Structure 1
Amino acid sequence: MNQTAITETSRTERAPAARTLAVAGLNHALHDGYTDLIYVLLPVWQAEFALSYGLLALLRGLYAGAMAGLQIPVGRIAERVDGKLILMLGTALSALGYLLAGLSGGILGLASALALSGAGSSTQHPIASAAVSRAYGKAARGPLGIYNFSGDLGKAAIPALTSILLVIMSWRHTLLLLAFAGVLVAGCVALWMPSLGKGRASKSTAASPHAGARAGGFHWLLAIGILDTAVRMGFLTFLPFLLRDKGASLPTSGFALALVFIGGAAGKFTCGWLGERVGTLRTVLLTEGGTAALILAVLVLPLTPAVVLLPLLGVMLNGTSSVLYGTVPELTPPHQTERAFALFYTGTIGSGAIAPVLYGLLGDALGPSLATAATAATALAICPLAIALARHLAEDPTTA
């Protein structure tokens, strides 16, 4: 076979993987955007239905709870049903939920519609993550980082688009338009996503070369993911108050938060590739050690230098997540990849919901500065867990 033929074969093999990543990324952007556009709509719904803050929080919780609570069942179903079908139907269900929300005439209809949309979104993380992982095999770390990054694009784009649409049309018509976008994405999944097959079908054909090294490692990975999310959500809870105490105005605080989110998106994009090149252990030690050091620096520095550090802190805060997502397949039997991603995402989403409450109670008891310092201590506590995890990875912990 000549060089031209080899090149053409290589391109042919890469095409389905690239198509899987593109469709999974588009789907991730839609679902993460659907999740966060609720924040834009809460004030609108409060005025429309005369809702209390408690009921507004309940609406948000219904969506998040349905999404988080159904991920593990979805992962199990994917072991018996083609993941492509589940992903397509889940995306269509999310769109249907927002369609019904736009047609709702009261709080009960709105709450039911949001729960339905959240249930549809429960399919996205376990199925799409596993699809990208299987498509790229041992080279999946970088693509999983891109997939992770695509969710941030959706979080930025869809709420911003919603804010613009609310200026020129009613919220009901806005949701109908966004629901139509969801139907289009479901169509993209149906037309362009390669068949994913059943999770169990991979059991006999995708044996791991490092199965012995994997035993017992997933629980360390899950623990790191839970603590890493807790650090991120806890710090972001206190950041506006820290900036206020340094003399920041409201616009300055908003700008500072934007810097953190921009850095976070960059961290998700780059750290997946970094983990592939220098190893999980080195990358996690770098990001968590950097997170702790930068949090303490933001605590003690005056306003201007603290704000300057925030983009780099955002990289460190979010960068670990891409490394962890890329490690899930290495610690999981191939036929249980969807189940493992479902469990991992359920743990991290649950941590994101609980951690602000716990750190908030700590802030009430000790003050925001000491509570923020506690988030830095939590980041450092991840380092020994990363060393324990490295013993279960294919990479040599003494060299990675």
Structure 2
Amino acid sequence: MSELVTGSADRCRDERARAARTLMVTGVNHALHDGYTDLIYVLLPVWQTEFALGYGLLALLRGLYAGTMAGLQIPVARLAERIDGKMILVLGTALSALGYVLAGLSGSFLALGFALALSGAGSSTQHPLASAAVSRAYGAAARGPLGIYNFTGDLGKAAIPALVALLLVIMSWRHALLLVACAGLLVAAGIALWMPAVGKGHASRKASSSPGHAGDKGRGGFNCLLAIGVLDTAVRMGFLTFLPFLLRGKGASLPTSGLALALVFIGGAAGKFTCGWLGARIGTLRTVLVTEGGTAALIAAVLALPLTPAIALLPLLGVMLNGTSSVLYGTVPELTPPHLTERAFALFYSGTIGSGAIAPVLYGLLGDALGPSIATATTAATALAICPLALVLDRYLAKQATMPHSRV
């Protein structure tokens, strides 16, 4: 009997160690890829001078990276149903690094665009596959770890562009990109060496058609979750689009506006870290109602208050703006059959990334027509519109919880 207990304890320790290793490796990988994504913003002025580009072509460079990353996530998820996700993550990270090698060697706009598209294609692997790997590693307790995984991306967004900005003081942008690419190759090697095997995402036909899986209820719940994710991203990107102009209207200088944005981003990173755990403790519905209601109230306060108190509220507003996303990511596995986890994350990330690209344009047109204050108030109204959807989602989650063997 004691041997059975000891063996069970050893297996539990091994599973916890494997889960922690999965979270650590995927977190580092997430930081790298999100850093790669936002690094382009630092380099756009450099490329404008180097290749004599207009703003339209500069925007196209950013769009090539983001477009290939978003567009290939679903095909990558389908590929993971046949090939071990760990292998795809290794190859994707190496491909993303290779893209930056080619960008550093490029001598024309076309070559640079091809290199960025290649790097974006590599980055398409990490969101759906790494999220699914963390979800499977932690099972029913995945909400908090997914929040940590989400948080690591913000660390990369802060660290890698800042590091390259410093490197540009002492070396050319080409050499700086080669160093960044070497870091990517090291991360790819680390995934190959230290990340536990992910396995294939598919299950047998019998399992996928069994009544224990989500079926129509799960699809309806996932569609509701995706709608919330799309609207939540629209609120965040729309508000950030207008924040510098609102602050300037209150008398803020350019450095003050930069500080204000930094405060929002710091609060956002904290929100991603904490709200995943909060969702695990008080539930998706309550957390979403708190974050979206808080977002609407704080946006209204920023609109109404003078400059100094408005800036003081920005870290808390950042928590609310970004906190919902961790709760939503943690809910994806609950509404998805295990054999479709990668595909569900791919759909979810594609929808939110697409919303992040389109929403600023739509809110910008509204701002041209009605002014930035009214357009910003519309983002607060959008946040409130999420609350009824959260109530609908809660009903789907309650139904899902009563289904036997809805998650394995």
Shift of 1:216: 1.5
Asked if 1:355 corresponds to 2:359, the answer is yes
Write the mapping of 1:231-250 to structure 2, written as runs, cut at 5 A.
231-250=235-254
Q: Which amino acid aligns with 1:85?
A: M
The 5 Å alignment of 1:189-204 reads: 189-201=191-203
- 1:77 and 2:79 equivalent? yes
Maintained 8 Å contact 1:208/1:333: no
Q: TM-score, normalised by structure 2?
A: 0.94
- CA deviation digits over 1:85-133, x for unaligned, max 9? 1111000000000000001111111010000000000001010000000
1:226 counterpart = 2:230: yes
Counterpart selection for 1:275 from 276, 279, 298 = 279
Amino acid at match of 1:116: L
1:30 pairs with 18, 32, 55, which one? 32
* Residue of structure 1 aligned with 2:214, choices 202, 211, 214: 211
Q: How does 1:1-400 map to 2 (within 5 A)?
A: 7-201=9-203, 211=214, 214-394=218-398
Give the counterpart letter for 2:353 in structure 1. Answer: I
Indicate the percent of aligned positions where both proteins have the same amino acid. 81
Cα distance, 1:388–1:363 mapped onto 2, change above 3 Å: same
- 2:222 is aligned with what amino acid? F
Question: Which string of whole-angstrom CA distances, capped at 9 and with x for unpartnered residues, describes residues 347-390 of structure 1?
Answer: 00000000000000000111000000000000000000000011
Query: CA shift at 1:11, angstroms?
Result: 1.8
Provide, for residues 287-308 of structure 1, a one-character-per-residue CA deviation record: whole Å limited to 9, x for no partner: 0000000000000001111000
| Deviation readout 1:178-219 (Å, 9 max, x if unpaired) | 110000000011111111111114776798967376351000
Asked if structure 2 preserves the Cα contact closer than 8 Å seen for 1:202 and 1:334, the reply is: no
Q: Are 1:141 and 1:273, in contact at CA under 8 Å, matched by a contact in 2?
A: yes
1:154-190 CA-to-partner distances (Å, cap 9, x unmatched) read 0000001001111111110101111100000000111
Distance 1:295 1:210 in 2: 40
Q: 2:202 aligns to what SS in structure 1?
A: helix
Does the 8 Å contact 1:362/1:371 carry over to 2? yes
Distance 2:251 2:201 in 1: 54
Q: Aligned to 1:79, what secondary structure does the other structure show?
A: coil
CA 1:223–1:158 in 2, change beyond 3 Å: closer, same or farther? same
CA contact (8 A) 1:293 1:376 kept: yes
Give the secondary structure class of the aligned counterpart of 1:391: helix
Alpha-carbon separation, structure 2, partners of 1:123 and 1:33: 15
Distance 1:309 1:4 in 2: 52
Give the aligned residue type for 1:179: A
TM-score for the superposition, normalised by structure 1: 0.96
In structure 2, what residue type is equivalent to 1:171? W
1:62-91 deviations in Å (ceiling 9; x for gaps): 000000010111111111111111111000
Q: Is the 8 A contact 1:203 1:335 kept in 2?
A: no
Name the amino acid aligned to 1:233: M
CA distance in 1 between counterparts of 2:20 and 2:211 reads 23
DSSP-derived class of the 2:397 partner: coil
Distance 1:396 1:332 in 2: 10
Contact 2:238/2:359 (<8 A) preserved: yes
The one-letter code sitting in structure 2 at the alignment partner of 1:339 is R
Worse-superposed segment, 340-349 or 209-218: 209-218
What's the secondary structure of 1:194's corresponding residue? coil
Using the TM superposition, give the Cα deviation of residue 392 of structure 1 relative to its aligned residue in structure 2, in angstroms: 1.0
CA contact (8 A) 1:203 1:333 kept: no
Matched AA of 1:217 = G
CA contact (8 A) 2:214 2:400 kept: no
2:296, 2:384 within 8 Å by CA — same for their partners in 1?
Answer: yes
Distance in 2 of aligned mates of 1:396 and 1:83: 27
Structure 2 counterpart of 1:88, which letter?
V
Alpha-carbon distance in 2 for matches of 1:61, 1:274: 34
Cα RMSD of the aligned pairs, angstroms, is 1.8
Three-state SS of the structure 2 residue aligned to 1:200 is: coil
Residue ranges of structure 1 left out of the alignment (5+ in a row): none
Q: Is the 8 A contact 1:90 1:122 kept in 2?
A: yes
Aligned pair count reads: 397
CA shift digits 1:10-33 (9 cap, x unpaired)? 322201111110011000000000
Confirm or deny: 8 A CA contact 1:279 1:395 kept in the other structure. no
Which amino acid counterpart does residue 344 of structure 2 have in structure 1?
Answer: A
